[in-house]
Amino acid sequence: MSEYWENRFITEDKIWGETPSRTAEYVLQLFKDHDVKKLLVPGSGYGRNTRLFSASGIKVAGVEISEKACNIARSFDPATRIFNDTVLDMSFLAHNYDALYCHSVLHFFRDYDRPLFIDQCVRRIKKQGLMFFTVFSEKEESYGKGKQVEKNTFESKPGRPVHYFDEDDLKAYFKNMEILETGIMEDPENHGSGPHTHILRYIYVRKT
Ligand SMILES: C[S@@+](CC[C@H](N)C(=O)[O-])C[C@H]1O[C@@H](n2cnc3c(N)ncnc32)[C@H](O)[C@@H]1O
């Protein structure tokens, strides 16, 4: 999977453009309301979302496996501290983040890695800290396309399995936390085959 992303960033550079995801704009307001000062962004890509948060005065750290994406991020969003490493072991980070924002990463992990990844995230956040995840929902146009490799997990693009979450499935991963909000959010993108809209599911939780 890391090779897949490295190749994409090498050939497509800023794949999703320079504009942040709609979900990041939404979360920024939530985090401002809660006076978030220190934010962790796992799977930070080339920094289109971290830049929104850092520009608003939040101290941001990103963890990203693609070296190429990290290099782009370091010039595109120099205010954010980028770690070129895996989010499956973030033990090199402190445990004192006020909040975490993770956009379009969790659904790329297989069933054995999803709880491991979430556990790594929870460990980095303070008690009462906030976390916001977005994932592909079962309403995505690509749901059910390609080879099924696990329940609700399809290789809609060869070599890139994606897990599609329904609401109960997503909530189950966060059953030990206070669930503040869940929902569906449309997220328009324009790359590859042209303009299209992702039907994302999100969950906003507080560590208890
Ligand atoms: C769909 S992209 C989203 C990037 C970014 N969140 C954004 O919205 O622009 C998924 C990202 O997760 C990163 N990623 C995948 N597996 C990872 C891992 N094990 N550790 C760190 N980053 C990973 C990829 O390299 C890629 O940048």
Q: Is 103 in the pocket of ligand 1 (CB under 6 A)?
A: yes
Q: What is the pLDDT of residues 169-197, one digit of tens each?
A: 999 999 999 999 999 999 988 877 788 88
Shortest-distance atom of ligand 1 to CA 45: 27
pTM: 0.97
Q: What is the pLDDT of residues 19-28, one digit of tens each?
A: 999 999 999 9
Contact 43 CB / ligand 1 (< 6 Å) = yes
* Mean pLDDT within 44-59: 98
* Minimum-distance ligand 1 atom for the alpha carbon of 69: 27
Question: What's the 64 CA to ligand 1 centre distance in angstroms?
Answer: 6
Q: Ligand 1: distance of its center to the CA of 61 in Å?
A: 14
196: β partners: 189
Residues 118-144: pLDDT tens digits? 999 999 999 999 999 999 999 999 999
State mean pLDDT over 2-17: 94
| CATH label of the domain that carries residue 177 | 3.40.50.150
Residue range(s) defining the domain that contains residue 65:
2-206
The domain tally of the chain equals: 1
Q: Is the CB of 65 under 6 A from ligand 1?
A: yes
pLDDT of residue 157: 82
Torsion sign (Cα): 191, 195, 196, 200: positive
